[in-house]
Amino acid sequence: MKKYIYLILFAMAFLAVSCEESKLETWHGKNYLHFIPGPDGSVKASYNFATEGTTAQTSDSVPLPIEIWGFMEENDFSLSVTIDGKPVTTTFRAGLPVDTLWVPVTRDAGLLSTSYTVKVEITGAGSDYEISPESYCKAEIQVQDSLEGLQPAWWATTQALGPYSTLKFRLFNIYSKGFVKSIDNYTAIAFKDYALEFREWLRGLWEAGQKYYDADGTTPLYESIPL
């Protein structure tokens, strides 16, 4: 009986070792490296200068996460990418399953009437890495500077600024030095005072020659803000 028990234990030990060896064999090949795709399998990001950061910004960086399938590196290693065809070398940090590529984007006056796309591709990461699958190694970033369709819900809760227009909201964000997501921190009286300060700022621009008009094309924009 003991003989059979020993045989069974030996067989289990053999299987355990075999399974461990089989698991190790799975990772004897190259590691895979690529961008993290969205639910539809594509790698896309967007950035809107009108809603991100401050209204005075002319440049920023957009994050694109990159992940490793396989063993994490014990040392930093170089990663080659192209940004709109221009070769760039960055670093993937040691011990991380996911690191981030920061892609620069810029803003100019022309962006108010159009948008542009930044194309990014991972092209190499040394002999230990397979840049794959191919569809996950290319990314696109849509860049714009637009408030179209972004009228904030809070605008309808106050009469302090008068009728909404995209131009008025953009100028209000410029005056506020950032995209105004909420006015919850203001009391009704405090926000009315702030709106009047904004009105005076617009009037000052008008008198200085920067003339912004209301939707009718003739009324100075500052006059659309009630006293």
For 126-152, the pLDDT digits (tens) are 778 889 899 999 999 999 999 999 999
User: Which residues of the chain, if any, have pLDDT below 50?
Assistant: 1-27
Residue 20 located in a structural domain: no
Domain count, the chain: 2
d(CA 164, CA 170): 11
If you count them, how many residues does the chain have?
227
Establish if 12 belongs to a structural domain: no
DSSP state of 162: -
Can you give the pLDDT at residue 112?
83
- Please tell me the distance from the alpha carbon of residue 203 to that of residue 47, in angstroms, as a whole number: 32
Q: Are residues 92 and 157 in the same domain?
A: no
> For residue 195, what are its two tokens?
């709106």
| Residue 49, number of CB atoms within 10 A of its CB | 23
C-beta separation of 11 from 100 below 8 A: no
For 64, list phi and psi in degrees, rounded to 5.
-125, 110
pLDDT at 126: 76
Query: Which of left, alpha, beta for 200 (phi over 0: left; psi -120 to 50: alpha)?
Result: alpha
User: Does residue 42 form part of some domain?
Assistant: yes
Q: Based on the domain organization, do 157 and 74 belong to the same domain? A: no
pLDDT at 29: 62
Q: What is the pLDDT of residue 57?
A: 86
pLDDT at position 28 is: 52
How high is the pLDDT of residue 198?
Answer: 97
pLDDT on residue 24? 35
Do 65 and 36 belong together in one domain?
yes
pTM of the model: 0.76
One domain, residues 160 and 126: no
Same domain (yes/no): 161, 58: no
User: Does residue 163 sit in the same domain as residue 133?
Assistant: no
Read off φ and ψ for residue 56, nearest 5 degrees: -90, -10
DSSP notation for 12-44: HHHHHHHHHHHHHHHTSS-EEEEEPP-TTS--E
Q: Is residue 1 part of a domain?
A: no
- Domain match, 70 and 49 both: yes
Query: Residue 177 is part of which domain span?
Result: 153-224
Residues 6+ apart with CB under 8 A from 46: 141, 142, 143, 144
User: Where among 89, 109, 144 does a domain terminate?
Assistant: 144
DSSP 95-122: T-SEEEEEEEEE--GGGGS-EEEEEEEE
Q: Pick from 101, 116, 144: which residue ends a domain?
A: 144
Same domain, 63 and 165: no
